[in-house]
Amino acid sequence: MTSHPEYNEKTTATEVADAFSDRIRNKNVVITGVGPNSLGEALALAIAAHSPAKLILASRTKAKLEEVLKKISTGRPEMSSKIELVILDLASQKSVREAVAQILGCIDHIDILINNAGLMMLKQEFTGEGIELQFGTNHIGHFLFTNLLLEKLCREVGSSQGEAGSTKIVNVTSAGHRLSPFRFQDYNVDGKPVPDEEQPPAAMIAAYGKVDTYNGWIAYGQSKTANILFSVALNERFRSRGIVSYAVHPGSIWTGLGRNLDEQGTEILAKTGTYWKSIDEGAAPMLVAALDPALDGPPEPNRVYISDCQIAEAAPWAIDTDAAKRLFELSVELVGIDTA
Ligand SMILES: NC(=O)c1ccc[n+]([C@@H]2O[C@H](COP(=O)([O-])OP(=O)(O)OC[C@H]3O[C@@H](n4cnc5c(N)ncnc54)[C@H](OP(=O)(O)O)[C@@H]3O)[C@@H](O)[C@H]2O)c1
- Tens-digit pLDDT profile for residues 98-121: 999 999 999 999 999 999 999 999
CA 65 to chain centre: 18
Q: What is the pLDDT of residue 150?
A: 85
> What's the 39 CA to ligand 1 centre distance in angstroms?
7
> What's the 33 CA to ligand 1 centre distance in angstroms?
6
Nearest to 287 by CA among 42, 117, 82: 42
Which residues, other chains included, contact 103 with Cβ-Cβ below 8 Å and sequence gap of 6+?
30, 56, 58, 84, 86, 149, 152
- What span, in angstroms and rounded, lies between the C-alpha atoms of 228 and 170? 10
10 Å Cβ neighbour count for 268? Answer: 15
Question: How big is the chain by its Cα radius of gyration, in Å?
Answer: 19
Whole-prediction pTM: 0.97
Whether domain 13-174+225-322 has CATH 3.40.50.720: yes
C-beta of 245 in contact with ligand 1 (< 6 A): no
C-beta of 115 in contact with ligand 1 (< 6 A): no
C-beta of 88 in contact with ligand 1 (< 6 A): yes
Residue 256's SS3 state is: helix
Among 257, 271, 307, which residue has the most ligand 1 atoms within 8 Å of its CB, making it the best to mutate?
A: 257
What's 298's DSSP letter?
P
- What span, in angstroms and rounded, lies between the C-alpha atoms of 106 and 83? 10
Q: Which portions of the chain are predicted below pLDDT 50?
A: 156-162
> What's the 250 CA to ligand 1 centre distance in angstroms?
11
> What's the 202 CA to ligand 1 centre distance in angstroms?
28
User: In the chain, where are the structural domains located?
Assistant: 13-174+225-322
Among 30, 59, 90, 261, which residue has the most ligand 1 atoms within 8 Å of its CB, making it the best to mutate?
A: 59
> What's the 160 CA to ligand 1 centre distance in angstroms?
35
What is each CA distance from 64 to 33, 73, 330, 333, in whole angstroms?
10, 14, 33, 32
Q: What is the pLDDT of residue 10?
A: 98
Helix (H) or strand (E) segment spanning residue 83: strand 83-87
CA 248 to chain centre: 7
Tens of pLDDT, residue by residue over 124-143, are 999 999 999 999 999 999 99
Specify the ligand 1 atom closest to the Cα of 279: 16
Q: What is the pLDDT of residue 293?
A: 97
